[in-house]
A and B are shown apart, each in its own frame.
Chain A
């Protein structure tokens, strides 16, 4: 439209500027809306983009539309001021509102009256300079050059003043801002301050000082360049915020390696957010409240308290942690999000680890209880056997002998009695072996070394033993190692082959009791049929008391079993 009308000094340039500006602001606005859905600022940017679109009317030849285009200049400028003053929240504070009011006053008292008394009007950008002649001003009430010059002065000085005030405000805000906030502000403020400066200077130079083109032309170029960059400053703000959040996240995750206490996590969060007042509050699912690390419940954030709260939760919606931070960080959306996510991750990780640890500890305790109860039960059975059946059989055996004594050696009954005596002796031997196998009393009375030596003497195979005195150990340790060795010995005897020789060692190292059972038997393939109950029993017994065992074997290579149990002192 603009190019076709060919009314302005540089139609292609003006058109390009408009297209770039409109597209730039709309895109920047959409980007804001997407990455900060709760901020109204994105909507403002999109709106501003569309408003700029109508500024093209200042380049058309249709008179009414042209006037409209020129008139739109005023709201456009006011909107632009609003944008920069409300950045980045999209809301104006009192100073911003005041400045906009003054700006509106300048429009009412300078711009509009100027239009009414000037013979020709035009769009305000340097590129919209009319190729002469500009169309006659249809809004003209009276052609009064003096009055026009006066209002032009009012408008230009007014604009300049407002721009100067805005610049001062922005500078002051920047200086007062916290470091994280400055990071958000700097790209936008930099570009916009250049534009404002150029804008104010150009208006003053062209409309009031009537400076030479040599002077105004480069100024105009600067103004145009800055204006092209305006929307991209907002894009840069988001990109920079994201980049910074990414870097912060990385450093935070690095700091979080290992176990981090609540205080440690809070310290990290404070340093990454650059907010010394930042606090973490942890969700207590049972109490259904957030509490800080001292256990105090978190009060709901009061508006205008200067601090904000953001809650982070798991994917299933369960809250995990809340970050209470300086409200200034509200606009550093990406950073707080990143910090929150990392904190949540750390806490969740810690919680999972704790759960896991607790589960493992519970399991360990219950296994230990189980084997302890098992050992107690064995001891009781052995005692019962000893006190009842064994004694009864022994008593019967004594009686039998007394009866045999009274029966002559040649009587018919003597050989029968001898047979019964033999049977009884066998029964006694078996019972003795059984009760010994259930629980050797020596284990309780004298400890592991004595009980093992005794067991080796009873072994059904050749045994080389090197059993050192390891002193008394906790009951469950003695029982576990004893039965482990016995199991290994029985395995060797059962599967090792005819001529198997078993070596058994028991010794002590600092904080460790160790044992090894080695045979030179036929060996076996571990993974197959032999991972049956025997080997499993051994690892179960040892595992239950926190010990370790390793079992190695291969066909033709014998079997090597060694184990270790931690002991105090």
Chain B
């Protein structure tokens, strides 16, 4: 568990929209835990700030100058090589899991995918920063929710074999929660969560993995694909 002493997370923020940047600033300004060393507005200045400040965590938009496409995802990939110890929280406007999956392409550890509109929830943003700072992973609950909903719609979907409780647990897994976290949100015992997870993974034919960052990816991929399994 992270200690809450002042300045325990040195953070670089990259967001090209002034208004959103100000919003993030307002949230983080009130957090003693966090020391923001730089607010950047494009990929180049983000990478320079990282080299200069050696932060613990980067909070980054996806679509930024220079190309306004997937700068944030590329920055995360580059940091995986150059500074594997730095955690990355990607704040995104896209509910679709495409970018989340891309973000986790080379491992979900120290990576979080958060919807921008949820950045105002202090707990959301700070939770994500803490998680990536300590090796965990986070996927915005709404992203998972939308996926589960879409997946359940399909006739013959394997999700229909899950109990409602199991679906809730699966969502927690996909959000990157630890068993303990799932247990506390769903008011279950840790033991019950473990039982549920075993049942889910065998029903869905997924490799059982206690490692949180790995099972995030597996469950996300499972939810995002809508192919042959249906046949």
Listed in ascending order, the chain A residues whose CB lies under 8 Å from chain B are: 383, 386-387, 390-395, 397-402, 405, 424-425, 428-429, 432, 441-442, 444-445, 450, 453-454, 456-466, 499, 501
User: B23–A463 contact, CB under 8 A?
Assistant: no
- Is B150 part of the binding interface, using a Cβ–Cβ cutoff of 8 Å? yes
Q: Which residue of B lies closest to A433 (CB)?
A: B95
Listed in ascending order, the chain B residues whose CB lies under 8 Å from chain A are: 17, 19-20, 22-24, 26-27, 63, 68-70, 93-98, 116-117, 119-122, 147, 150, 153-155, 157, 224, 226-228, 230-231
Given A398-B20, A402-B23, A390-B119 contact (CB < 8 Å): no
- Tell me the complex Cα distance, A101–B224, Å: 111
Give the chain B neighbours of A395 by CB distance below 8 A: 17, 19-20, 22-23
CB distance from A74 to the nearest CB of B (A): 108
Give the chain A neighbours of B147 by CB distance below 8 A: 457
User: B122–A405 contact, CB under 8 A?
Assistant: yes
- Tell me the complex Cα distance, A392–B23, Å: 11
CB distance from B66 to the nearest CB of A (A): 14
Give the chain A neighbours of B231 by CB distance below 8 A: 464
User: A394–B117 contact, CB under 8 A?
Assistant: yes
Given contacts A394-B17, A394-B116, A458-B96, 4 further A-B contacts (CB under 8 A): A391-B19, A393-B117, A398-B119, A399-B120
Give the chain A neighbours of B68 by CB distance below 8 A: 383
User: A398–B23 contact, CB under 8 A?
Assistant: yes
- Which of B20, B26, B70 makes the CB contact (< 8 A) with A445? B70
Q: Which residue of A lies closest to B231 (CB)?
A: A464
User: B96–A465 contact, CB under 8 A?
Assistant: no
CB distance from B148 to the nearest CB of A (A): 12
User: A456–B226 contact, CB under 8 A?
Assistant: yes
User: A457–B121 contact, CB under 8 A?
Assistant: no
Give the chain B neighbours of A424 by CB distance below 8 A: 117
- Tell me the complex Cα distance, A387–B20, Å: 11
Give the chain B neighbours of A400 by CB distance below 8 A: 120
User: A441–B150 contact, CB under 8 A?
Assistant: no
CB distance from B34 to the nearest CB of A (A): 15
Q: Which residue of B lies closest to A387 (CB)?
A: B17
User: B23–A465 contact, CB under 8 A?
Assistant: no
Q: Which residue of A lies closest to B67 (CB)?
A: A445
User: A425–B117 contact, CB under 8 A?
Assistant: yes
CB distance from A109 to the nearest CB of B (A): 113
Given A397-B120, A402-B26, A391-B226 contact (CB < 8 Å): no
User: B97–A398 contact, CB under 8 A?
Assistant: no
Give the chain A neighbours of B98 by CB distance below 8 A: 442, 450, 453-454
- Tell me the complex Cα distance, A392–B94, Å: 15
- Tell me the complex Cα distance, A390–B155, Å: 34
Given A394-B20, A398-B23, A462-B154 contact (CB < 8 Å): yes
- Tell me the complex Cα distance, A462–B231, Å: 12
Given A398-B119, A457-B224, A463-B154 contact (CB < 8 Å): yes
User: A445–B230 contact, CB under 8 A?
Assistant: no
Give the chain B neighbours of A454 by CB distance below 8 A: 96, 98
- Tell me the complex Cα distance, A288–B107, Å: 76
Q: Which residue of B lies closest to A429 (CB)?
A: B95
- Tell me the complex Cα distance, A420–B20, Å: 19
- Which of A392, A429, A450, A501 makes the CB contact (< 8 A) with B155? A501
- Tell me the complex Cα distance, A399–B24, Å: 9
- Which of A432, A462, A465 makes the CB contact (< 8 A) with B95? A432
Give the chain A neighbours of B20 by CB distance below 8 A: 391, 394-395, 398
Q: Which residue of A lies closest to B150 (CB)?
A: A457
User: A457–B96 contact, CB under 8 A?
Assistant: yes
Given A454-B96, A457-B96, A428-B117 contact (CB < 8 Å): yes
- Tell me the complex Cα distance, A390–B116, Å: 10
Identify 12 residue pairs between A and B in the complex whose beta-carbon atoms are under 8 Å apart, listed by A's number: A393-B117, A394-B17, A395-B19, A397-B117, A397-B120, A398-B120, A399-B120, A405-B120, A457-B226, A458-B150, A463-B226, A464-B227
User: A466–B228 contact, CB under 8 A?
Assistant: yes
Q: Which residue of B lies closest to A460 (CB)?
A: B153
- Tell me the complex Cα distance, A453–B150, Å: 13
- Which of B63, B120, B153 makes the CB contact (< 8 A) with A441? B63
Give the chain B neighbours of A458 by CB distance below 8 A: 96, 150
User: A499–B155 contact, CB under 8 A?
Assistant: yes
CB distance from A392 to the nearest CB of B (A): 6
What are the 6 tightest A-B residue pairs by CB atom distance, in nearest-first order?
A401-B120, A398-B23, A395-B19, A398-B120, A462-B154, A391-B17
Give the chain B neighbours of A394 by CB distance below 8 A: 17, 19-20, 23, 93, 116-117
Q: Which residue of B lies closest to A397 (CB)?
A: B117
- Tell me the complex Cα distance, A428–B155, Å: 29
Of A390, A458, A461, A462, chain B has the most CB atoms within 10 Å of the CB of A462
Give the chain A neighbours of B95 by CB distance below 8 A: 429, 432
Q: Which residue of A lies closest to B230 (CB)?
A: A464
CB distance from B50 to the nearest CB of A (A): 23
CB distance from B80 to the nearest CB of A (A): 19
Give the chain B neighbours of A459 by CB distance below 8 A: 150
User: A441–B69 contact, CB under 8 A?
Assistant: yes
Give the chain B neighbours of A463 by CB distance below 8 A: 154, 226
Give the chain B neighbours of A399 by CB distance below 8 A: 23, 26, 120
- Tell me the complex Cα distance, A386–B68, Å: 10
- Tell me the complex Cα distance, A397–B96, Å: 20
- Which of A398, A401, A460, A464 makes the CB contact (< 8 A) with B226? A464
Give the chain B neighbours of A391 by CB distance below 8 A: 17, 19-20
- Tell me the complex Cα distance, A454–B93, Å: 14
Q: Which residue of B lies closest to A390 (CB)?
A: B93
- Tell me the complex Cα distance, A135–B29, Å: 152
Of A442, A457, A499, chain B has the most CB atoms within 10 Å of the CB of A457
Give the chain B neighbours of A460 by CB distance below 8 A: 153
User: B121–A401 contact, CB under 8 A?
Assistant: yes
- Tell me the complex Cα distance, A338–B17, Å: 79
User: B22–A461 contact, CB under 8 A?
Assistant: no
- Tell me the complex Cα distance, A98–B20, Å: 114
Give the chain B neighbours of A499 by CB distance below 8 A: 155
- Tell me the complex Cα distance, A429–B146, Å: 11
Give the chain B neighbours of A405 by CB distance below 8 A: 120, 122
CB distance from A302 to the nearest CB of B (A): 73
Q: Which residue of A lies closest to B228 (CB)?
A: A466
Give the chain B neighbours of A465 by CB distance below 8 A: 226-227
- Tell me the complex Cα distance, A374–B20, Å: 31
Of B20, B96, B153, chain A has the most CB atoms within 10 Å of the CB of B96
- Tell me the complex Cα distance, A459–B149, Å: 11
- Tell me the complex Cα distance, A397–B27, Å: 12
User: B96–A398 contact, CB under 8 A?
Assistant: no
- Tell me the complex Cα distance, A396–B191, Å: 41
CB distance from B22 to the nearest CB of A (A): 7
CB distance from A30 to the nearest CB of B (A): 87
Give the chain A neighbours of B24 by CB distance below 8 A: 398
- Tell me the complex Cα distance, A386–B96, Å: 15
- Tell me the complex Cα distance, A398–B115, Å: 11
Give the chain A neighbours of B19 by CB distance below 8 A: 391-392, 394-395
